[in-house]
Amino acid sequence: MKTRIFEIFTSIEGEGILYGTKTLFVRLAGCPYTCFYCDTLDALPLDSGKEYSINEACDLIDKNLQKNTYKVNFTGGEPLIQHEAVSELAKHVKSKGVPTYLESACFDSKKFLHVLPSIDFVKIEFKTIDSKFIDAKHYPNLIKNTLECLKASINANKITYIKIVVSSNTEFSSFNELVDKIFKIASKENISGFIIQPTTSISEPSLEKLIEFYDSVYPYYDQVRIVPQLHKIINAP
């Protein structure tokens, strides 16, 4: 089995509930989408990065794994593009006693289920239709798959949290509809966080808009947080 890794590096986690933790990032090559706010465009092509055997990739992780690393983050691109490789690499990381973390838009629930047993922390990102990455015809199927992944992660008792990126283009009605669907599955008892992440340096939402989105989630989950990307503030990769 082969895998394509775009880059591997240690930095500070800039997003989500583990914001601020020392993390080894394994960025997999390839993504089926092109969200307008994407900040890793070079990693989107399937032939980007470098090809490794699984053993070579495991050795690469070992060489880059620093002491006091809180977790290894499998990111992209979209890591589910290479779900079989991610599963094997995550098993290797867990054998070292280091927690594993998956961040994904969960576009394919079958691929997600293949990876899930080897993952400790799951960030499930729900895309809004205004992300301009998929047409309206195919958007419902994406959300269907993402909801199935959310349910699977909760049922597997994984540490699961939700992230939604919002911009000045995000409409309250579509956001609110998405939140309603999420909380037909999720509850404050079975998820570990709900992060609303504003875009940075492109179509940034106003404070008033962010408060509207916060107020939409709060009745379902009073621990909702609005969290910008820390790494962009501290100039980290």
Distance from C-alpha of 186 to C-alpha of 177, rounded to nearest angstrom: 14
Q: Rounded to whole angstroms, how far apart are CA atoms 96 and 94?
A: 5
What per-residue confidence (pLDDT) applies to 231?
Answer: 85
Cβ neighbours around 110 below 10 Å, total: 11
**C-alpha atoms less than 13 angstroms from C-alpha of 169 in its C-beta half-sphere:** 13
Question: Which residues, listed in sequence order, are joined to residue 101 by a DSSP beta bridge?
Answer: 73, 121
Question: How far apart, in Å, do the first and last CA atoms of the chain sit?
Answer: 29
CATH code for the domain of 59: 3.20.20.70
Query: CA–CA separation, 233 vs 21, rounded Å?
Result: 15
pLDDT tens by residue, the chain, 237 residues: 999 999 999 999 999 999 999 999 999 999 988 888 887 878 888 899 999 999 999 999 999 999 999 999 999 999 999 999 999 999 999 999 999 999 999 999 999 999 999 999 999 999 998 887 777 788 999 999 999 999 999 999 999 999 999 999 999 999 999 999 999 999 999 999 999 999 998 999 999 999 999 999 999 999 999 999 988 888 778
SS3 readout for the chain: CEEEEEEEEEEECCCHHHCCCEEEEEEECCCCCCCCCCCCHHHCCCCCCEEEEHHHHHHHHHHHCCCCCCEEEEECCCHHHHHHHHHHHHHHHHHCCCCEEEEECCCCHHHHHHHHHHCCEEEEECCCHHHCCCCCCCHHHHHHHHHHHHHHHHHCCCEEEEEEEECCCCCHHHHHHHHHHHCCCCCCCCCCEEEEEECCCCCCCCHHHHHHHHHHHCCCCCCCEECCCHHHHCCCC
Domain total for the chain? 1
Residue 161 is predicted with a pLDDT of: 98
**Verdict on whether the full-model pTM lies above 0.85:** yes
Strand 2-12 with 22-28, pairing: antiparallel
Q: What is the largest CA-CA distance in the chain?
A: 50
The rounded radius of gyration (Å) of the Cα atoms in the chain is 17
CB atoms within 10 A of CB 91: 14
Q: Which domain holds residue 42?
A: 2-233
| pLDDT of the residue at 132 | 75
Are the CB atoms for 115 and 86 separated by under 8 Å? yes
CB-based burial of residue 205 (10 Å sphere; 0-12 exposed, 13-18 middle, 19+ buried)?
Answer: buried
pLDDT in tens, 184-209: 999 999 999 999 999 998 999 999 99
